[in-house]
Amino acid sequence: MSQTERLVMLAEDQLTEYSTDARKVEKLRQKISLSVPVKQQKLVKNELDGELKGNFIDGILLQQRQAAALPFWGIAGLGLLFGISFTQPVDFIATIVGGAIAITLQRRGWKLQAKQLVVTALEEIEQRTHAAKASAKPSGE
């Protein structure tokens, strides 16, 4: 498992907790600072930035993954309803297809959200490092 995958998994763990985004970033920042060297932090950040600068669909999923999957959950529900009420086994195909698409969209959005959380934490680490270096310089310079 690469360092990037490990950090994304840590972020996914943070996403499962009920707390504010700032608190999630703070917890993740502490874990990253302790376990990942600075050089590797920059490599991971560059890699994830490249992945997040994806296509239009990824942008929508990152912002509104549940709203994007909602129509497909509706299709799955209607297929189930019509399949049961009209005894049409063909309608169950809509349930399977709609459910599969909705789950795929939810998973993709979840991964993108975790990657965004890692990037945010890495940017915060970088800002704090620069601020610490700036305040450590002698006032005569």
pLDDT given at position 98? 94
Domain boundaries, given as residue ranges, for the chain: 3-135
- Which pTM was predicted? 0.83
- Measured over the CA atoms of residue 96, residue 66, residue 25 and residue 118, the dihedral's sign is positive
If you search the block for the tokens 């950090």, which residue do you land on?
A: 7
Biggest alpha carbon–alpha carbon distance for the chain? 84
pLDDT given at position 128? 87
Cα 136 from Cα 141, distance rounded (Å): 11
**Among 114, 129, 132, 111, CA closest to 37:** 129
Question: Using an 8 Å Cβ cutoff, are 109 and 69 in contact?
Answer: yes
The per-residue pLDDT string of the chain (141 residues; one tens digit each, 9 = 90 and over) reads: 788 899 999 999 998 888 888 899 999 999 898 888 888 988 999 999 888 887 888 889 989 999 999 999 999 999 888 888 878 778 889 899 999 999 999 999 999 999 999 999 999 998 888 888 888 776 655
pLDDT given at position 106? 94
